[in-house]
Structure 1
């Protein structure tokens, strides 16, 4: 393929000029902070290990800073954008700044949470600067909806990055940590300073790498059943699992029975369990519910 022109990526002046021409002001409602540094977006692409044969899906491309960097390397890029003005302008930006790669770009004008299919080949990678206010739901939705995504690199609020990558027993280990681990091996992959954004956010950002598990979590329980246990366990963090899961199981005694059957202490707390242990709890509770009942004596 031909190499993009050296000035194809967006710099600070380019971003502000483009935003001004579109009448765009970043909004807190949609968590918009545009990356204005070409070195940063190239670093993200390198960290994501994007390959020439990758079909990359990007959520929230904004003005196209990361999109252009992805197109330098990937075979194809599909960008999902909810904002009407940004979605209308992005194809023109791509055609103008990287005409030799514009046929490799596809825009999907939609809320990412509503996307159930994408045009063209199945995506192999997800790379995105996710809006802070919806980062975790969007990430989990994309991983669930597109099992072909093998590698993911997302830029999120540093605190969210810590939660996603936290191991069992950590103070910030919680629902996002467990659910992300259902799909992938998760780790922190770097930090991003505030000065590479416009406007500069009031929080630091972090990169999180997710590599899909070669083998899914082995369990007879469904994802929905496992996630129900996770949600219940962390709804009341300070309680023991026997107490926290009482509502989910129907009673504290039923919760204790499922925990004992799964080989987990009823006095343990959710933050000490790995995703495989939550799966065992769900599996044993499901088995209890399907056991034949004793006939009622007449």
Structure 2
């Protein structure tokens, strides 16, 4: 088999396409998602339909978001599930997920997909804008990304992605996926992760943009102590007032503490 052609599709490197082919892994993912007929499911990057065809056995309608026009045509022409699909040929990193909701349909979205590695973080941050529309998410991501999502403070890989993901969601790593489960074979291991948005945020902030702002500043200078990196936005006495040690670095501060800082800034 040609390294660049799979199931008649010319694999496009610029879209970071790695197609899932291992049936055991596919079945495990489907059982984890556990699709039900009355649910509103959205697949990001269906590709050649490895997951799509199985999901469509359980539901009559599936929304898919796919950027590659060649793959869109293949999905439309597939007699096994093409008629069940509502297809958006869009860039998911900029997609408005309100478009997935029917006007009178109050069901929450269940989003899943094998996300391209090079845009996964940007894509996830876009999805968080619509978190109030979402019941849960199941994503295949680079294992390193899932590790960053799930890790707590005190680790070198703890960062903005950790904080913003844990602010919005419970993070549940499910299954490590070997590179040979994909074609072409990626150079990294993948992992299936479940993200479940909180019904009630454990550490609500007044303005989530300020949480983004503070963490962006802190982690852009992560080797500096907070009293150096955040000194232009948070006075020293406020750290003491909030019981936060300003001599610590960005990676040592918990989600709850960052939320306290964001709320102080919102009120100041």
Q: TM-score, normalised by structure 1?
A: 0.80
Q: Give 1:217 shift.
A: 4.3
Question: Gaps (5+ residues) in structure 1?
Answer: 1-11, 289-298
* 3-state SS of 1:82 partner: coil
> 1-side partners of 2:180 and 2:172: how far apart?
24
- Which residue of structure 1 lines up, in the alignment, with residue 253 of structure 2? 273
- Which residue of structure 2 lines up, in the alignment, with residue 155 of structure 1? 140
> 2-side partners of 1:200 and 1:128: how far apart?
18
> 2-side partners of 1:108 and 1:123: how far apart?
18
Among residues 59, 79, 91, which one is paired with 2:44 in the alignment? 59
- Asked if 1:164 corresponds to 2:144, the answer is no
Say if 1:165 and 1:208, in contact at 8 Å, map to a contact too: no
- Which residue of structure 2 lines up, in the alignment, with residue 45 of structure 1? 30
Say if 1:185 and 1:212, in contact at 8 Å, map to a contact too: yes
Among residues 88, 99, 103, which one is paired with 1:118 in the alignment? 99
> 2-side partners of 1:57 and 1:255: how far apart?
44
Where do 1:49-88 residues align within 5 Å?
49-74=34-59, 76-88=61-73
Say if 1:194 and 1:201, in contact at 8 Å, map to a contact too: yes
> 2-side partners of 1:255 and 1:41: how far apart?
52
> 1-side partners of 2:34 and 2:153: how far apart?
27
Say if 2:93 and 2:119, in contact at 8 Å, map to a contact too: no
> 2-side partners of 1:137 and 1:192: how far apart?
22
CA pair 187-149 structure 1, distance change in 2 beyond 3 A: same
> 2-side partners of 1:123 and 1:227: how far apart?
25
- Which residue of structure 2 lines up, in the alignment, with residue 97 of structure 1? 80
> 2-side partners of 1:90 and 1:267: how far apart?
55
Q: Give 1:274 shift.
A: 2.4
- Asked which structure has the greater CA Rg, the reply is 1
The CA deviation string for residues 163-189 of structure 1, in whole angstroms up to 9 with x for no partner, is 111122233111111111121011211
> 1-side partners of 2:267 and 2:254: how far apart?
20
Question: Gaps (5+ residues) in structure 2?
Answer: none
Say if 1:55 and 1:75, in contact at 8 Å, map to a contact too: no
- Which residue of structure 1 lines up, in the alignment, with residue 242 of structure 2? 262
> 1-side partners of 2:165 and 2:205: how far apart?
19
Worse-superposed segment, 49-58 or 160-169: 49-58
Q: TM-score, normalised by structure 2?
A: 0.89
Say if 2:167 and 2:203, in contact at 8 Å, map to a contact too: no
Q: Give 1:57 shift.
A: 1.1
Say if 2:131 and 2:168, in contact at 8 Å, map to a contact too: no
- Asked if 1:36 corresponds to 2:16, the answer is no
- Asked if 1:231 corresponds to 2:216, the answer is yes
CA pair 286-197 structure 1, distance change in 2 beyond 3 A: same
> 2-side partners of 1:272 and 1:53: how far apart?
43
* Alignment length (residue pairs): 261
- Which residue of structure 1 lines up, in the alignment, with residue 86 of structure 2? 106
Say if 1:48 and 1:151, in contact at 8 Å, map to a contact too: no
CA pair 246-78 structure 1, distance change in 2 beyond 3 A: same
